[in-house]
Chain A
Amino acid sequence: MAMAKKFLGFMQGWTFTAGSNPHSSPGSNTMIQKHRILVCKMLIWVAALSPGSWLVAGLIFGWLGPNPIESLTHITGMTTLVLLLVTLSITPLRRITGWNGAIRLRRPLGLFSFFYALIHFNIWFVFDQVFNWRWMVEDIIERPYITVGFSAFIILIPLALTSTKGWMRRLGIRWTRIHRGIYLAATLGVIHYYWLVKADVRLPLLLAFCLSVLLIYRVLGWLGKRRRTIARSHGSNIS
C-alpha cells in the first residue's frame, strides 16, 4: 500500500512537472498550449483511473461476482494493453495533426499503463501464486502465455524508471533506444492476451490489428527517412 502511494506520488510529480516547460512553444501561443496540455492531462487522469475506480467500487459493492480475482486480472491487463496502444499512438497523432505538444501526453499514458501492469502482476503473484516463488517461476517457465506476459512486464520496468527528465538528460541518445522497448513490450503483451483466450479471440485480434497499424506506421516512417538520407547522400556525390 505504501509502495503504491509512493508510486502515485512519483507519477504525479512526473506528469505535472512535465507540462510546465516554459520553452515548449514560442510567443503568445504558450498560454493556449499550456492550457490545452493541462486539459488533455486531466482527461488522461480521469480516463486512466476510471477502470481502477470501477474495480475498487466493484470489490466494495460486490458486483464483480463470485470470482472477483478473474475480473480484476482481466480488466487490469486489458487497461494496460489499451493504454500502451494509446501511448504508441501519440507520435502518429503528433505527426498527423502537427501538434507537437502532444508529446507531453506520452509520459503520463505510459506510466499509467505501467501502473496497471504492476497491479496486474501483483494480483497474479498474490492471489494466483499465493506468494510462492517456486510456483511463480514454474508458471513462467511452463506456460508460454505467462512467459511472454512476464517478459513484457520486465521490459516495462526500466522504461518506467527512466521516464523522468533527469534520466532523459543523463541517457541522451541511449534513452530513445532503451524506450524502443515499448514496441517489444506491446507486442508481447498482445501475444500474451491472444494466447490466454480459450476460444473467443476477437478482442485480442482487434488489439493486434491496432498494434500492427501503429508498428507499420513506424516502419514506413523509418523507410521514408532512410530513403531520403540515401537520396541526399547520392545527390551530394553527384554534385
Chain B
Amino acid sequence: MIIRSKKASDISSSEITPPEIYSGRRRFIRDAGLGLATLALGGTTLSNEVSGQSQEIPARFRNLKSELGEELNSYRDITTYNNFYEFGTDKRDPSRNSSEFEPEPWTVSIEGHVNKPGNYELDDILAPVTMEDRIYRLRCVEAWSMVIPWYGFPLAELIKRVEPTGNAKFVRFETVHRPEQMPYQKTGVLPWPYVEGLRIDEAMHPLTTLVTGVYGTELPNQNGAPLRLIVPWKYGFKGIKSIVKIEFVDRMPTNTWKMANSFEYGFYSNVNPEVSHPRWSQARERRLPSLFKSHETLMFNGYGEEVSRLYAGMDLHRWK
C-alpha cells in the first residue's frame, strides 16, 4: 500500500483545497456563482474558446508541476482535445457537440456482488468523500500525452462504502446511453454503451480516481461530466466517462475497445513501452503541446513504483 502524501512534490489536498469545496463542490459552485468563487480563490480566468465557456482557474495551480517536474497542460488543451466518441471521432468534436448534454441530475446504479446495491444520487456519492487534486499523466494509446490536474476522490472510498462480497472479482463500468444528447451514439462506430472494466484490486488501488473536475473546476461535458474514471497507469481509453453504472462481477468484463477490435486492445491496457500496438509504437509519445513524438514512454506511465506489484508474476506481453 503506498502513501501518496510521502512523495516530496505531492500536494496534500488539505493544504490547497479550501474546506468549503471538500464536499458538495458542485452545489457550492452553483450556489456561490463562478464570480464569487473566483474572488474567494483569487483565481485567473482561462477561456475555453471552442465551447464558449469561461472557467475560473484557482490560483493554487499557478506554477504547479507533476511529481516528475512536468508542466501541466493548459485548461484549453485539456478541454478541446478529447477522445469521447459519443460526441464524434475528431478530437475537436466533443467540445463542439456536447453543449446539449445534461450532467445534472445524475444517478449511478451500483449493482452485482455488493451488500449495498442501488441507485445512488451523485450528491450522495460525493457527500462523504474527500475531494482532492490529482496531477496525473494521461497517456493515450494513440501515443500522445498530457499532464492534467484532475479533481476527484479514490474509487476505493466508494467501493468500501457499498461493501463488495467475495464474488466481486472485477468491476464493470458503463457510460450513459443518450443518443438524443450524444449524436454519435446514433452511429455504429462503436458498440454502445461504452463499457470498461478493472480487476477489483486495480479498482481499489489508491491511484485509481473517480473524477468530477479538472483544474479545480467542474468537469466539462467533453471530459466526461459529471463523473469519470482515471487510471493513470493505463491507456486513456480505460478512463470511462459519464459513468451511470458500476457493477461488481465475478468474470472479466469485455471492454468496448476489446469488443471492437480484440486483436489490438486488451483488458489490462497498461501503459507499456515494450508491448507494441499494431498501429502505434508505444515506446515514445508526443507530450502535447510539443510537436515531436520524442518523449520516452515510461513503464506503467511512470507509476510502476506504486502499481507493478499488482502484476507480479504476470506475463505482460500476454496480458495486454
- Where the two chains meet, the residues of A that have a C-beta atom closer than 8 Å to any C-beta of B are 65-70, 127-130, 135, 138-139, 142-145, 195-196, 198-200, 202
The smallest beta-carbon distance between B295 and chain A, in angstroms, is: 10
Assess A67 versus B81: contact at CB under 8 Å? Given A130-B294, A199-B260: yes
Total contacts A-B at CB 8 Å: 62
Could you tell me if A143 and B293 are in contact, using CB atoms closer than 8 angstroms? Answer: no
Could you tell me if B260 and A69 are in contact, using CB atoms closer than 8 angstroms? Answer: no
Could you tell me if A67 and B289 are in contact, using CB atoms closer than 8 angstroms? Answer: yes
Could you tell me if B279 and A145 are in contact, using CB atoms closer than 8 angstroms? Answer: yes
Q: List 30 A-B contacts (CB under 8 A).
A: A65-B81, A65-B91, A66-B73, A66-B74, A66-B76, A66-B77, A66-B80, A67-B289, A68-B291, A69-B291, A70-B91, A70-B144, A127-B293, A130-B293, A135-B281, A135-B284, A142-B276, A143-B278, A143-B280, A144-B278, A145-B279, A196-B279, A198-B142, A198-B261, A198-B279, A199-B85, A199-B89, A199-B260, A200-B187, A202-B189
3 tightest A-B CB contacts, nearest first: A66-B77, A200-B89, A200-B189
Given the complex of chains A and B, what is the CA–CA distance between A127 and B290 in angstroms?
10
Secondary structure call for the A interface: helix
Given the complex of chains A and B, what is the CA–CA distance between A67 and B260 in angstroms?
26
Given the complex of chains A and B, what is the CA–CA distance between A65 and B73 in angstroms?
13
Q: Which A residues touch B289, using CB under 8 A?
A: 66-67
The smallest beta-carbon distance between B2 and chain A, in angstroms, is: 31
Could you tell me if B291 and A127 are in contact, using CB atoms closer than 8 angstroms? Answer: yes
B66-99 vs A, CB cutoff 8 Å, 1 = contact: the mask equals 0000000110110011000100010110000000
The smallest beta-carbon distance between B140 and chain A, in angstroms, is: 10
B279-305 vs A, CB cutoff 8 Å, 1 = contact: the mask equals 111001010110111100000000000
Q: Which A residues touch B190, using CB under 8 A?
A: 199
Q: Which B residues touch A142, using CB under 8 A?
A: 276, 281
Could you tell me if A67 and B144 are in contact, using CB atoms closer than 8 angstroms? Answer: yes
Q: Which A residues touch B142, using CB under 8 A?
A: 198
The smallest beta-carbon distance between A168 and chain B, in angstroms, is: 39
Known contacts A68-B291, A130-B294, A200-B187; 16 additional CB pairs below 8 A are A65-B80, A66-B80, A66-B81, A67-B81, A69-B286, A69-B291, A70-B91, A127-B286, A130-B292, A135-B281, A138-B281, A144-B278, A195-B279, A198-B279, A199-B85, A200-B85
Q: Please name the residue on chain A nearest to B80 by beta carbon.
A: A65
Contact partner, A139, options B73, B189, B281, B288, Cβ 8 Å: B281
Interface centre among B187, B289, B293 (most CB of A within 10 A): B293
The smallest beta-carbon distance between B235 and chain A, in angstroms, is: 12
Q: Which A residues touch B280, using CB under 8 A?
A: 143
Q: Which B residues touch A198, using CB under 8 A?
A: 89, 142, 261, 279
The smallest beta-carbon distance between A135 and chain B, in angstroms, is: 7
The smallest beta-carbon distance between B142 and chain A, in angstroms, is: 8
Q: Which B residues touch A67, using CB under 8 A?
A: 81, 91, 144, 286, 288-289
Given the complex of chains A and B, what is the CA–CA distance between A69 and B91 in angstroms?
13
Q: Which B residues touch A65, using CB under 8 A?
A: 80-81, 91-92
Q: Which A residues touch B89, using CB under 8 A?
A: 198-200
The smallest beta-carbon distance between A65 and chain B, in angstroms, is: 6
Given the complex of chains A and B, what is the CA–CA distance between A205 and B57 in angstroms?
43
Q: Which B residues touch A196, using CB under 8 A?
A: 279
Given the complex of chains A and B, what is the CA–CA distance between A186 and B251 in angstroms?
46
Q: Which B residues touch A70, using CB under 8 A?
A: 91, 144
Q: Which B residues touch A139, using CB under 8 A?
A: 281
Given the complex of chains A and B, what is the CA–CA distance between A69 and B294 in angstroms?
13
B211-244 vs A, CB cutoff 8 Å, 1 = contact: the mask equals 0000000000000000000000000000000000
Which residues of chain B in 135-173 are interfacial with respect to chain A, using CB atoms and an 8 Å cutoff? 142, 144
